Structure 1
Amino acid sequence: AGLEPLFHALFAGIPNDWYRKNQLAQFEGYYASIFYSYFAALGLDIRLEDTTNHGRIDMAVLFNNEVLLFEFKVVELTPQGKALQQIKDKGYADKYRARGEPIHLIGVDFSKDSRNVVGFEVETVHV
C-alpha cells in the first residue's frame, strides 16, 4: 500500500506539456512503462508480459522473497476494480505459488482525465 502515494506523486510530477497534442494518456503501456522504469532503476528482477496458461501478467516483480503481480488498466475517470479481479480470475498467482513466498496481487487503475493513479488495490496471498 505504501507504493500508491509514491506513484501518485511520480505521475503528478510529469509535466502537462508532455501530454500536449498526443494520445499518450490513453495507453496502458505508457503507465506500465513508468512502473517498469521505477523498479528497473532499483535493479529488481522484473518480468513483463509474463505468460501463464491463462493470459499474461502485466508485470511481475520478485523482491526480498516476495512476489508482486501487477495488472494495469486505463479508465475514463473512476476505478472499476477490474485490474485486481483479472489477476484473481486468471489465476496469475498460480505460476508463483510453488516458490512458497507471499504473493501480492496489485491492481492499478489510471485515469485518462487526471493522468494519474485513481485506483490501487492490493491483496496478499499466503501460500
Structure 2
Amino acid sequence: DWYRANPITQYEGYWASVFYSHLAALGLELIAEDVTNHGCIDLTVKIPERIYLFEFKVVPDQATGQALAQLKARGYADKYRADGRPLHLVGIEFSRQQRNVVGFEVQMG
C-alpha cells in the first residue's frame, strides 16, 4: 500500500508536522523549530499554566531515549527558565520500521 512505500514517514519533519497540525487545531500557542543558542527545539507549546518542549526522533526500531537526551544535553529549557512557568521536556521517538510511536518520555524541566 502507499503508506508503506512512502518514505516521508522516515523523516522527523513529517512526524513533527503531524503533531503541529493536531495541536494547532486546538488553538494552542506553538513555535515550530524554536531557535536557541544551542540548536532548535522541534516544537514548543505554551499554555497559560506551563510550557512543553518537544523533541522528535526517528529511530530504527526501538526506543533509544535520544529525543529526551537531546533536550537535556543541549539545555533547551534554559531559554524559558526565567518565564516562571513549569517546563515539561517531552521526547517522542518513532520507529522507522513500525511507523509508529515507540518511545515517549516526559521530564519536568
The verdict on a shared fold, with TM-score over 0.5 as the criterion, is: yes
2: CA distance, partners of 1:21 / 1:118: 20
Among residues 108, 113, 116, which one is paired with 2:97 in the alignment?
113
In the TM superposition, residue 65 of structure 1 has moved relative to its aligned partner by 1.9
Aligned to 2:66, which of 82, 86, 104?
Answer: 82
* 1:9-68 CA distance string (max 9 Å, x none): xxxxxxxx4414321221111111110011100010000100000000000000132000
Separation in structure 1 between the aligned mates of residue 77 and residue 2 of structure 2, nearest angstrom: 35
SS in 1 for 2:101: strand
- Say whether residues 1:91 and 2:46 are aligned partners: no
Aligned residue in 2 for 1:53: 37
Report 1:6-85 matches (<5 A).
17-85=1-69
Which SS does the other structure have where 1:19 is aligned?
A: helix
Q: State the secondary structure of the residue aligned to 1:86.
A: helix
Report runs of 4+ in structure 1 exceeding 6 Å deviation. none
Count of aligned pairs between the two proteins: 109
**Distance in 2, Cα, partners of 1:36 & 1:51:** 16
Q: Secondary structure at the match of 1:29?
A: helix
Percent of aligned positions that are identical: 58
CA distance, structure 2, for counterparts of residue 91 and residue 28 of structure 1 = 20
1:9 aligned residue: none
The alignment yields a C-alpha RMSD, in angstroms, of: 1.0
What runs of 5+ residues in structure 1 fail to find an aligned partner? 1-16
* Separation (CA, whole Å) in 2 of partners of 1:108 and 1:50: 17
Runs (5+) with no aligned partner, structure 2:
none
SS in 2 for 1:74: strand
Question: 1:45 is aligned with what amino acid?
Answer: E
